[in-house]
Every structure is written in C-alpha cells, then in structure tokens.
Amino acid sequence: MSSVTLQTLKQRKLNGEKFTMLTAYDATFSQVVSEAGIEAILVGDSLGMVLQGHDSTIPVTLEQMVYHTQSVARGNRGALIMSDLPFMSCATLESALNSAAELMRAGAHMVKLEGGRWLAETVTKLNQQGVPVCVHLGLTPQSVNTFGGYKVQGREQSAALQMLEDARVLEEAGAACLLVECIPTLLAEEITENSKVPVIGIGAGPHTDAQVLVLHDMLGITPGRTARFVKNFMPGSNSVTEAVQKYASEVKNGTFPGPEHSFE
Ligand code: KIV
C-alpha cells in the first residue's frame, strides 16, 4: 500500500489543494520522483516514444507496460502508481478486465484508459472488481491516426459539449479521476468544476486539480521541439530532485502552467 491513496487525492480536491503527477518508467526515476514528494506516478504508454523511439504510443504492448510497472513499483517510495492500458487493450470488456488485472498484479494502484462514454460499462466493471480507473479525455494519443496529428481537442462548441458529457457519464459510471490533455483552458475549468473526482491536466491550463508532465520533457532531455505545454525545470536547478521539487511547488502555488503553456 502506498502512503498516497486515491482518498488522499480526493481530499486534496475537497480542500482545494493541487497535487502533482509525473511519468516514470523505471525504478531509479520512480524513487527520485516519489522521494521528491510527487503524489502520483504515471507509468505512461508515452514510454513508446520516450524510451523506445516510436513516433506514437500505438506499438506499446501490455507485456511492456507490465514490465515497466513492476520496475516503477520496486523504486516507489509512497506515491500512487497509475498505469496505462495500452492501445486496443480495452477493445472488449474481457480484454480490459484481463489487461487491468495484469497491471494491478504488476504493482499499479489504478489504471488509465483513453476514450469517451462508450467505455462506461468497462469503467463500472473495473471499479466493481477493485480497479480504480482514470479516464483520459481530450487529445488521447492512441487515437492520433483518427485525429490526424497531435492537435488541441474541444475547441468547437459541439466537441466541447461532447467532452463535458463524456466526463459526466464516466464519472457516474465510477471513474475515480479524469485526465484531460490539450484542451482549452476554459473547457478544462468547466470539467473540473463539474466533477467531484480529481481532474488532472496536461496542456489544459491552470484550473485543473492536478498537473502531469512527462518527466523527460520537464527535465529538458527530450530531443527536438517539445509541446507548448512543456516547461523545462532544469535551468537553475542543481539536481533532478531540485527540478522535480520546483515543478511541484510551481504547480501548488499556481505559477505553472502559465498562459504560455496553455490553449484558448
Ligand atoms: O502516456 C502518458 O505519459 C500520458 C501523459 C502524457 C498524460 O498519457
């Protein structure tokens, strides 16, 4: 049992206190990030891009997610571990249940899946089986081919209304938290205000209950151009731990993300 639980995160939302999440894929960074006070670690399928050099998360397999979740669990010092259900693992209810079981056995405390209200039954069944679920809305990277690129989602009114309805339906179905990626600040604010469960944002402005970034992005070691919502916390920091702590304090005092990291 980690010392940060889902109850901790829910209480933070109730108290109006922000919390932080970072990705980690191995034991060393898991230890660094959790000891620096980050409340939640995401074993993201972004590892397909960050570690494996693919141009999307689509090639990542369940077996690889299990391997990295086990590594993160060994290094963790008290954070809540959330692991991604990879591409197509939720195509059927049976596959979603079996895949989530593998991740939980590997050391995850909850799972994240990408999609909308059509996943309501899956969310309910997972929850009934003791698997807390975070639903990823907005720019869901596993659907990059459907979107035609990594683009901001929810800018048109109809898309924004659909996302608000997805969030409502999935929360009612039992989602333990929501994660919104690359959506306009005002839409993220509305989703956060309407939700009783914590809402974690990335490229979604400053009003969500929590923020997440890919660790390698915020350490400035991602090659090439990074997304607008990324901030490099290494300049001025003497160590990785210091950069992670700076990220946490800027999220908590509301200075990160700024308008330059957000979308209208
Ligand atoms: O896979 C991942 O790291 C993610 C974050 C970008 C939210 O889903």
Give per-residue pLDDT as tens, 147-188: 999 999 999 999 999 999 999 999 999 999 999 999 999 999
Residue nearest to atom 8 of ligand 1 (CA): 44
Which two structure tokens, joined as six digits, stand for 234? 């290494």
Instruction: State residue 193's pLDDT score.
Output: 98
pLDDT in tens, 9-68: 999 999 999 999 999 999 999 999 999 999 999 999 999 999 999 999 999 999 999 999
Instruction: State residue 145's pLDDT score.
Output: 97
Cβ contacts of 53 within 8 Å, gap of 6 or more: none
pLDDT at 219 over 90: yes
Q: Are 173 and 130 in contact (CB under 8 A)?
A: no
Which two structure tokens, joined as six digits, stand for 136? 């990823």
DSSP state of 54: -
pLDDT above 90 as % of the chain: 99
Please give the distance, rounded to the nearest whole angstrom, from the Cα atom of residue 41 to the centre of ligand 1.
11
> Which amino acid, one-letter code, is at 90?
C
In this prediction the pTM is 0.98
Please give the distance, rounded to the nearest whole angstrom, from the Cα atom of residue 44 to the centre of ligand 1.
5
Q: Are 197 and 10 in contact (CB under 8 A)?
A: yes
Instruction: State residue 66's pLDDT score.
Output: 99
Q: Are 199 and 210 in contact (CB under 8 A)?
A: yes
Could you give the C-alpha distances from 90 to 66, 86, 93, 124, 232, in angstroms and in order? 16, 8, 6, 13, 34
pLDDT at 231 over 90: yes
CA distance 211 to 104: 23
Beta bridge partners of 211: 20, 201
Instruction: State residue 1's pLDDT score.
Output: 52
Pocket around ligand 1: residues whose beta carbon is below 6 Å from it? 23, 42, 44-46, 84, 136, 179, 181, 202, 212, 214
pLDDT at 95 over 60: yes
Q: Are 30 and 41 in contact (CB under 8 A)?
A: yes
Instruction: Give mean pLDDT, residues 243-264.
Output: 97
Which two structure tokens, joined as six digits, stand for 45? 């399928």
Which of 224, 209, 219 has its CA nearest to residue 241?
A: 219
Mean pLDDT for all residues in the chain: 98
The 10 Å Cβ neighbour count of residue 255 is: 11
pLDDT above 70 as % of the chain: 100
Tell which atom from ligand 1 comes closest to the C-alpha of 84: 1
Instruction: State residue 175's pLDDT score.
Output: 98
Residue nearest to atom 4 of ligand 1 (CA): 44
Instruction: Give mean pLDDT, residues 72-97.
Output: 98
Q: Are 30 and 75 in contact (CB under 8 A)?
A: yes
Active site residue 181: yes
